Structure 1
Amino acid sequence: MSIGIDIVRGQAIQSIGALSHEQRLTVMTDSRNMVENGLFVPLKGERFNGHQFLEQAIQNGAVAAVWMEREPLPENVPEGFPVFFVRDTLVALQSMAKSYLNQVNPKIIAVTGSNGKTTTKDMIHSILSQTFKVYKTQGNLNNHIGVPLTILSMPEDTQILVLEMGMNHFGELTFLSQLAKPKIAVITNIGESHIEYLGSREGIAKAKLEIVKGLRKKGTLIIDGDEPLLANIHSHAFQIVRCGYGMQNEWQITEANESVDGASFSLNGKQERFSVPVLGKHNVKNAVYSFAVARLLGADMEMIRHGLERLRLTKMRFEKVAGMRGSVLINDCYNANPTSMKASVETLKALPGFERRVAVLGDMYELGENEMALHESVADVLTKPLTHVVTIGSKGAWIAEGLRKRHSESELEVHTYATKEEAVTYLDSLLDEKTIMLFKASRLLALEELSDKFRA
């Protein structure tokens, strides 16, 4: 990483660029992480101040630090330890990322959407890494801090960088897109995530479309062609590729089939089939987004097929797990909103070979003033062949209430618990070789603790 002196204000012992030529620096913002040759960039927020932890950062491998001018420098800084004074360490972090991006100059693929960002990112990486040097967002480092950290952590020989981009307010994707300047941008779908801040699904669509603000000239936007809120997008500045199940799509999904081991599909009515080792028709659509990206970058059909078949997803995204007493568990606990929860339930209903289908559903957050109605709306899909619905949490209870309102004499067995711990005994009693059990809720509920408890 070679960073110019232009971001530095005040006195610097030596430029970050010169230092990085001597030793490859690992940018760190968390002083608790152990690294080699770390450049510590302490960030400051309303409730935290990383400048308080320079000593810990040095103990864990920091060999230099970027420092906000108005923050006092600790007296015990080792003699000769390089410190670079700047007006704002976050701006410095973002400036370093931009400079390093220009130096490496990879092709950028940006992925956003209410659901499926991480899965689509993983699929794109799985296909393209067979031929290119590809680096992708690790975990969910997808915001104004995480994207620069991802950029700064990519190897110097990276040819393609796949960046996941998240947001919960207007303007955030504009900034990330203009920072990265993607060649290809993907919008996986429009759900209800962050509707609390964006007002409506129309507002969410508008915010997601900010991803084109930094799209390179003659770049490509890949979208969910089945989403009415994206139906009227037109541009002479970039190409638009639509993917989905409807006939209006350039890449139309035909003959999608599911099993407990994954899904398969064909495109545009052709006999050639593709398989992915993940469940759900929504993940078929994610696979088609990755297909469209790969075709734009010159991948042939065999390369795409092999890349999808060898896919390894980030954990807790519809993760199939062997459960106790021969049961099958689906850990889909990373996050949830009504759209993704309904899709997961529909997949659970479609999987053949189980007598007992149990949906364990919990609280969803950031849904705004209509959160009760949005929870209750999940009941629309809580029908046979489901056999049991178990809700966790005070908001999760609204799902059960919605089920009672819609189906006063539901054939499903419904149980409501305030906490995960209260549900353990009942859920344990349902587990045998005839059972498949889905766990789905927002990240804050940590519902994977139940899934982990019932692993074989």
Structure 2
Amino acid sequence: MKLSGKLVEEISEGVRRQNVNLSFSGVHTDSRQPMVDGLFIPIVGERFDGHGFIHTAIEKGATASLWQKNKAVPESLPEGFQLFYVKETIQGLQQLSKRYLNHINPIVVGVTGSNGKTTTKDILDSVLSTSYKTYKTQGNYNNHIGLPLTILGMESDCELLILEMGMSGFGEIEVLSLIGEPHYAVVTNIGESHIEQLGSREGIAQAKMEIVEGLQESGKVFIDGDEPLLKPFYHNNVITCGFTDTCDSKILNVSTSDYGFRFSLKGEETIYELPLLGRHNIKNAAYAIMVGRELGLSEKSIQTGLKQVNLTGMRLERITGLNGSTIINDAYNASPTSMKAAIEAVKELPGYSKKVLILGDMYELGPDEEELHRSVAAVIEEPITHLFTVGEKGQWILDAFNEKNDHRLIVQSFLYKEDLIASTVRLLDSETVVLIKASRGLQLETITKHLM
């Protein structure tokens, strides 16, 4: 991208060493990263202040910086180094991203939901990039700092921008939506993530639907039509998708294959092919199909996009393990809803005589965390053959399973993830598939290197 100094000056309240001819190769908040000809934005957090790293940023190539007006300017700052003064640097970052977004003026698709945001973003990108020059949220840059950085990372020829919007409390999605002003919005589902902060699933639904706050006047919202908690939000601009008869776009004729699924949508003859694990991903793909239809994509383009989808890592990521085994790394994060969905995906996989679950702690579930962990046991049954749990909270899953008195599975609990490696390695051969799933804080994916 190329950002003009003039555009930055428009959101500032004054400058040091004005140079109207400046332009920047990128915008950076991490002073440790190379930023040749870059604009540095010093973020002020609870435990750090990026203003203190201005000299490091200069050493890394920064040629200018936003600067909070109430912060003293170091006397040692190079004479020609330009500062753009703002009241508050995070606010300045957000304002700058909005200016740049309006300048480039792409079609914007916003994506939120408790589970499946990143996967849906990836599918949308794969489908829509067949007809548009697209850019999408990179990694987990989906909060009040990451989303503006995503916007500022797109190239000047971007035609369609896909923004993932995450949150942990009320009001956060609204902020992101007002920055991004999406033409289309997708709400994948309502789960239990962040229920500790939001109080209930009803609260989660309310927080997710804040995505409509910045929606363009003629914009449309695609939501989970199987979720009763979203019914209060049905309006003229809402299109529902799901498996129930009342959905505007009902998913039909689902069949499995060695590589994924085939399905169709109500009112269409097309049979879509999706090379992804997990039945829940059919709905994520359907959102992309519906957005594609709204944007005038042909059936051929949509089919091509679905067939070449490439997901961000640790989302039902299939890895070849020891002795020809298969490892399903879904360890990026977890909630009871997503954990159950991942287990169902493994149950559906053909060709494996040993199906092993490695399930760990889930965080931020609030006062009902034990009950929510225990709820996962309801879907643990044959053809699953082994259940290994990790951590004190993961133990609740195993306890609930044992109460079912199902002695056909081999079960074992481990307090620490390193302790389960030997028990797992012994099972690995060409007929074994292993699912790894837990909350991000447990970093359960670190055991995969021992299984590969």
Band the TM-score falls in, shorter-chain normalisation: over 0.9
CA contact (8 A) 2:185 2:211 kept: yes
> CA-to-partner distance for each residue in 1:300-319, whole Å, 9 max, x for gaps?
11110000001111111101
Partners of 2:175 and 2:322 in 1: CA distance? 47
Question: Letter of the aligned partner of 2:253 in structure 1?
Answer: E
Structure 1: any 5+ residue segments left out of the alignment? none
CA RMSD of aligned residues (A): 1.4
Pair 1:306 & 2:310 matched = no
Question: Letter of the aligned partner of 1:324 in structure 2?
Answer: L
> CA-to-partner distance for each residue in 1:215-248, whole Å, 9 max, x for gaps?
1112100001111111243324xx2111111111
> CA-to-partner distance for each residue in 1:114-158, whole Å, 9 max, x for gaps?
011111111111111112111110111001001100011110111
Counterparts of residues 253-272 of structure 1 (less than 5 Å): 253-268=251-266, 270-272=268-270
How many angstroms does 1:280 deviate by?
Answer: 0.7
Number of aligned pairs? 448
Of residues 409, 412, 417, the one that matches 1:412 is 409
2:181 match: 181
How many angstroms does 1:260 deviate by?
Answer: 4.5
Tell me whether 140-149 or 5-14 shows the greater mean CA deviation: 5-14
Partners of 1:120 and 1:45 in 2: CA distance? 31
CA contact (8 A) 2:111 2:162 kept: yes
Partners of 2:368 and 2:66 in 1: CA distance? 44
How many angstroms does 1:198 deviate by?
Answer: 0.4
CA contact (8 A) 2:15 2:82 kept: no
CA contact (8 A) 1:261 1:279 kept: yes
How many angstroms does 1:375 deviate by?
Answer: 0.6
Of residues 280, 290, 294, the one that matches 2:292 is 294
2:279 match: 281
Partners of 1:343 and 1:150 in 2: CA distance? 29
2:448 match: 451
How many angstroms does 1:270 deviate by?
Answer: 4.8
CA contact (8 A) 1:333 1:442 kept: yes
Question: Letter of the aligned partner of 2:110 in structure 1?
Answer: A
Counterparts of residues 305-324 of structure 1 (less than 5 Å): 305-324=303-322
The secondary structure found in structure 2 opposite 1:304 is helix
Tell me whether 242-251 or 147-156 shows the greater mean CA deviation: 242-251
Of residues 384, 397, 400, the one that matches 1:399 is 397
CA contact (8 A) 2:9 2:84 kept: no
Partners of 2:250 and 2:366 in 1: CA distance? 34
Length-normalised TM-score, structure 1 = 0.95
Counterparts of residues 7-406 of structure 1 (less than 5 Å): 7-14=11-18, 18-19=20-21, 22-236=22-236, 239-268=237-266, 270-405=268-403
The secondary structure found in structure 1 opposite 2:315 is coil
1:435 match: 432
Partners of 1:166 and 1:450 in 2: CA distance? 27
How many angstroms does 1:4 deviate by?
Answer: 4.8
Partners of 1:67 and 1:4 in 2: CA distance? 12
The secondary structure found in structure 2 opposite 1:424 is helix
Seq. identity, %: 48
> CA-to-partner distance for each residue in 1:328-372, whole Å, 9 max, x for gaps?
110111110000000000111111111100010011111111111
Structure 2: any 5+ residue segments left out of the alignment? none
The secondary structure found in structure 2 opposite 1:408 is coil
The secondary structure found in structure 2 opposite 1:436 is strand
Partners of 1:129 and 1:339 in 2: CA distance? 30
Runs of 4+ in 1 over 4 A off after TM superposition: none
CA contact (8 A) 1:123 1:287 kept: yes
CA contact (8 A) 1:258 1:279 kept: no
How many angstroms does 1:398 deviate by?
Answer: 1.2
Tell me whether 367-376 or 252-261 shows the greater mean CA deviation: 252-261
> CA-to-partner distance for each residue in 1:286-308, whole Å, 9 max, x for gaps?
00000011100000111100000
Task: Flag the 1:215–1:161 CA change in 2: closer, same or farther, 3 A.
Answer: same
Partners of 2:264 and 2:250 in 1: CA distance? 8
How many angstroms does 1:9 deviate by?
Answer: 2.8
